[in-house]
């Protein structure tokens, strides 16, 4: 099969388009013919500094496609079914082997491209808001990096739950594009101080919950943006900087900081069923899956470079 591979970590240009051996089907797994690869924030981080499981290495958490082979012990899935899948790596390829447990059936009529985006971004945003963030209707949420994959999911799910939604982004143009998805107030962090803006927009109360997928440059500000008993769901390191915070800034306001890692629970019934629910809701049009742009798989390097340029709002896909 063809795949986008790399032999060493680095900039997007390390990605090459090459012939590699087809993956083998595990007895408790399936092989899919990939129809769409959703390039996750974690994929760009892994390309830059993640471990190479094989050399060359095929990066990528998430892809959707049609099952072409089913492992001997799998009873829940069948050849010909379309599924959205996750895994530690291997999405940037024509064929992908995944655990049956990490494949979610795509409802008839729902585009595989849209389904490919949902498990990690929406599953993570949902956990940040509800499982760990305990969001309630009427509360106010700040979504750091609102134009990211996780951010756009969080904006929509928070709005649907009855929250007021603030979001940050690196330009006014990016913020403008978030308004149709439920953002009430945008904060351009290049031109405004985020904490001051949050306080101005909330009558000095602060927000009840922050979803922070950026980390180093934002996390202290996320804590300082909290209202009394506010919560931060810390979920990522898109900023690629060390995360240092003054934890004493939590105590006075009975504030809390939770780490959120979907991967630690994705195999549980709770997270698995939650992701299927989100796929089914998206298929019914209950929220939007935002695809910024698609590239052929052969242009994976260009697609990663485009993401690095910070122009994308929502997901960039690769099509084999
Ligand atoms: N813990 C988990 O379970 C989990 C699950 C999913 C994702 N994540 C993590 O969450 C983070 C975001 O993932 P994603 O898929 O939402 O990412 P994404 O769609 O690629 O978006 C990342 C966003 O971060 C912002 N950003 C701020 N500083 C940046 C920098 N130095 N370089 C690049 N972007 C920067 C950019 O928006 P602006 O230009 O507007 O600032 C960019 O759009 C990643 O670190 C990912 O690994 C964790």
| Residues 263-277 as b or e (16 or more Cβ within 10 Å = b) | eebbeeeebbebbbe
Mean pLDDT computed over 5-16: 98
Q: pLDDT by residue (tens digit) across 286-309?
A: 999 999 999 999 999 999 999 999
For 269, residues 6+ apart whose C-beta sits below 8 A from its C-beta are: none
At 268 the pLDDT is 96
Quickly tell me which residue has 């079914």 as its tokens.
Answer: 81
At 37 the pLDDT is 98
The CATH superfamily of 2-119+265-319 is: Medium-chain alcohol dehydrogenases, catalytic domain (3.90.180.10)
Task: Compute, in angstroms, the gap from residue 214 CA to the centroid of ligand 1.
Answer: 6
> Are both 2-119+265-319 and 133-259 of the same fold?
no
Average pLDDT, the chain: 97
What is the rounded distance in angstroms from the CA atom of residue 293 to the CA atom of residue 286? Answer: 22
At 239 the pLDDT is 86
Domain boundaries, the chain: 2-119+265-319, 133-259
Query: Which two three-digit tokens encode residue 185?
Result: 């107030």
- List the residue whose alpha carbon is closest to atom 8 of ligand 1: 236
At 260 the pLDDT is 97
Pocket around ligand 1 at a 6 A CB cut-off: 40-42, 44-45, 120-121, 124, 145, 147-151, 169-170, 174, 213-214, 235-240, 260-263, 307, 310
Atom of ligand 1 nearest to the CA of 262: 3
Q: pLDDT by residue (tens digit) across 213-264?
A: 998 889 999 999 999 999 999 998 888 888 889 999 999 999 999 999 999 9
Pocket test for ligand 1, best of 60, 212, 238, 271 (most atoms within 8 A of CB): 238
At 79 the pLDDT is 98
pTM of the model: 0.96
At 310 the pLDDT is 94
Based on the number of CB atoms within 10 Å of its own CB, is 17 exposed (0-12), middle (13-18) or buried (19 or more)?
middle
At 140 the pLDDT is 98
Residue 184 reports pLDDT greater than 90:
yes
Residue 9 reports pLDDT greater than 90:
yes
CATH class (in words) of the domain with range 133-259: alpha beta
Residue 318 reports pLDDT greater than 90:
yes
Task: Compute, in angstroms, the gap from residue 147 CA to the centroid of ligand 1.
Answer: 9
């Amino acid at each position: 099969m063809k795949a986008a591979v790399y032999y060493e970590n680095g900039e997007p240009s390390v990605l090459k388009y090459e012939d590699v051996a087809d993956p083998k089907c595990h007895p408790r797994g399936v092989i899919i013919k990939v129809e769409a690869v959703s390039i996750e924030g974690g994929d760009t981080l892994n390309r830059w500094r993640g471990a190479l499981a094989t050399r060359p290495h095929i990066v990528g958490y998430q892809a959707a496609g049609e099952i072409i082979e089913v492992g001997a012990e799998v009873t829940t899935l069948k050849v010909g079914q379309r599924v959205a899948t996750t895994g530690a790596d291997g999405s940037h390829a024509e064929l992908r082997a995944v655990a049956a447990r990490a494949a979610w059936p795509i409802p008839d009529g729902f585009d595989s491209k849209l389904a490919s985006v949902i498990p990690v971004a929406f599953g993570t945003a949902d956990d940040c808001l509800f499982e760990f963030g305990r969001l309630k209707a009427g509360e106010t949420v700040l979504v750091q990096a609102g134009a990211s994959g996780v951010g756009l999911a969080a904006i929509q799910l928070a709005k649907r739950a009855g929250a007021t939604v603030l979001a940050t982004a690196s330009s006014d143009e990016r913020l403008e594009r978030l308004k149709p998805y439920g953002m009430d107030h945008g904060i351009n962090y290049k031109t405004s101080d985020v904490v001051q803006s949050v306080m101005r927009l909330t009558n000095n109360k602060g927000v009840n919950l922050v979803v922070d997928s950026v980390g180093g440059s934002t996390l202290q500000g996320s804590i300082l943006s909290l209202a009394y008993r506010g919560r931060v769901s810390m979920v990522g390191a898109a900023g690629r900087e060390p995360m240092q915070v003054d934890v004493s800034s939590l105590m006075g306001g009975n504030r809390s900081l939770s780490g959120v890692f979907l991967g630690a629970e994705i195999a549980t019934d709770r997270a698995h069923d939650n992701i299927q629910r989100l796929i089914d809701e998206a298929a019914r049009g209950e929220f939007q899956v935002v695809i910024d742009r698609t590239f052929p798989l052969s242009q994976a390097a260009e697609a990663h470079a485009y993401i690095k340029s910070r122009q994308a709002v929502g997901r960039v896909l690769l099509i084999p």
